[in-house]
């Protein structure tokens, strides 16, 4: 699932990319597409995927914020443990969760991240392989 989405998004990104943007722009676009694919394939059931998509969408659509009643801060972090705070910062949407929920989301996030990295690595390898062959 992630692969399909990602490839589709990649093609979309690349359509505008070559010749129009600098590589860094494209890199950023690809990165956003990667995260978006990851979050979308993870599904709406995961808090981190929702938060990630929200974060990705928020940048362009600042003024068009929908009047949705989203309960953002259920329980503010009691931030005593520096490790816990760091983990909360790393995992998208980790600021509002309880600790055990945070661990659960972190596990799912790590799993999807690893899959995304593997996917991108394979794409890069295949691309470089094709390049080397040709």
Partner 1 sequence: MENEAFWGSNWLSAIAKPPPAMSFASDDHLPPCALNLNWKQLLRHDVDLESELSSLVSSPSCHPAASADGGVVGGVIGRLGTICNSGEISVGSRLHSASSSCYSTPLNSPPKRNLSVPDYLVQGRRGFPGSVNPSPGGHFMPLPTDPWLAEDAARLSRGGGMSSSGFPGKLGLPETPGKLSRASSSKSLTGSRMVVPENGNEPWVLGAALMEMEMRSRVGGSLTPEQSEPGNGREESSIEEASSLRGTSDSNARKRKASAGKGKGKEGPLPYSATHPPNMTNENSVAKRCKTSETNAMMKTEQDGDIGRKPRKDDNKLLEPPKDYIHVRARRGQATDAHSLAERVRREKIGKRMKFLQDLVPGCNKVTGKAVMLDEIINYVQSLQRQVEFLSMKLSTLSPQLHNMENLFPKEMYQGQGTMPQPVYPAEMASAAYPYSHQPQASPPLQSIVTSGLESQLAPLYGLSDAPSQVGDFWEDDLQSVAQIGFRQH
Q: State which of positions 19-78 bind partner 1 (CB under 8 A).
A: 21, 23-37, 40-45, 53, 56-57, 59-61
Q: Give the nearer residue to partner 1 in terms of CB position, either 31 or 72.
A: 31
Of 5, 47, 51, 93, the residue at the interface with partner 1 (CB under 8 A) is 5
Distance of CA 48 to the CA centre of its chain: 9
Of 65, 83, 95, 97, the residue at the interface with partner 1 (CB under 8 A) is 83
Residue 95 engages partner 1 in binding (rule: CB under 8 A): no
Q: Are 108 and 45 in contact (CB under 8 A)?
A: no
Residue 96 engages partner 1 in binding (rule: CB under 8 A): no
Hey, CA dihedral for 58, 63, 64, 67, is it positive or negative? positive
Helix ranges (H only) for 43-98 are: 47-58, 82-90
Q: Give the nearer residue to partner 1 in terms of CB position, either 95 or 99.
A: 99
Gap between the Cα atoms of 38 and 31, Å rounded: 11
Residue 86 engages partner 1 in binding (rule: CB under 8 A): yes
């Amino acid at each position: 699932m992630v692969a399909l989405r990602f490839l589709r998004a990649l093609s979309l990104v690349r359509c505008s990319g070559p010749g129009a943007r600098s590589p860094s722009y494209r890199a950023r676009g690809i990165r956003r597409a990667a995260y978006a694919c990851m979050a979308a394939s993870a599904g709406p059931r995961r808090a981190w995927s929702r938060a990630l998509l929200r974060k990705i969408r928020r940048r362009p659509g600042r003024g068009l914020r929908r009047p949705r009643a989203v309960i953002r801060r259920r329980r503010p972090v009691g931030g005593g443990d520096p490790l816990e705070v760091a983990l909360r910062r790393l995992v998208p949407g980790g600021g509002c969760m309880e600790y055990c929920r945070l661990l659960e989301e972190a596990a799912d996030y790590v799993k999807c991240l690893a899959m995304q990295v593997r996917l991108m690595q394979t794409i890069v390898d295949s691309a470089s392989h094709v390049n080397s062959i040709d």
